[in-house]
Structure formats: C-alpha cells, structure tokens
Amino acid sequence: MAIWGVGVDVVDLARFEKSLERTPGLRSRLFRPEELAAGHTTESLAARFGAKEAFVKALRSPAGLSWQDIEVVQDAAGAPSLELHGAAASRVQELGITAVHLSLSHDTSVATAFVVAES
C-alpha cells in the first residue's frame, strides 16, 4: 500500500459557532441527518467539518463533491472514520484508493482533522 494523499484542516471553534448561529441552514448543508441526530457538541461538529475539508484536500479537491457525500461515523470504541456516499465514494473507487484513515482532535479554541488516503 502507498499513501495517495494527505489532508489536514484546523477549524477555529468560535468562528465555526458564529457561522452556525448566523446561518441556520448551514448545519443541514454541512452534515448528514445521521450526523446531526447524534447530538454532537459544537466542538465535535467543528472537528467533523474539518474531517470533510481534510478529505477534500487529501483527494486534491475532486469536482462534484457535496458535504453530504462525506460522513464521519464512530465505531463501538468511539474511533472516528469516514463513510463515503455519492460522488465521494465514486471518486475514491475511480482513484483506486483502498483505505482512508481519519484522526480528530479538539481543544479550547480549535478542532483539527487529519486524513490519509492509501492506494
């Protein structure tokens, strides 16, 4: 296996929260209903948004992606991963990417996401 792409994103928590407050429909544009139903904190949503941005960077900004195509899920132990839909899933298959790894973190003022795509 080889690393195909790497993406990282940092989200300012205060700025993200203000954006959500200022634009009520933003949550439903950025996150799938399953992500919103989980009741994540603003910090957790910011990290998840960062994961979507990091994924886009790792794949070198493929055209046609929707934020809805990229879903952050957790396994039984709480480890995050990406579940891909629509154009994101098609693009990963087209590029021959066999695994996508995700790491999330958030602290008092920032959330960070790191994505590695393998082929």
Question: Looking at the DSSP assignment, which residues form a beta bridge with residue 85?
Answer: none
Q: Is the pTM of this model over 0.85?
A: yes
Whether the pLDDT of residue 24 is over 90: the answer is no
Inter-axis angle of helices 42-58 and 13-22, to 10 degrees?
Answer: 100
Average pLDDT, stretch 7-11?
98
- 47-60: per-residue pLDDT in tens? 999 999 999 999 99
Distances in Å between the Cα of 6 and the Cα atoms of 9, 32, 44, 84, 115 are 10, 24, 21, 17, 6
CA distance 56 to 66: 10
Residues recognised as catalytic: 57, 106
The residue type at 15: R
Cα distance from N-terminal residue to C-terminal residue, the chain: 6
In this structure, what CATH number is given to the domain that contains residue 86? 3.90.470.20
**Residue 111 domain boundaries:** 3-118
Give me the pLDDT at residue 64, please: 83
Structural domains in the chain (count): 1
Q: Please identify which residue in the block is written with the tokens 């021959």.
A: 96
Share of the chain above pLDDT 70, in %: 100
78: left (phi over 0), alpha (psi -120 to 50) or beta: left
Residue length, the chain? Answer: 119
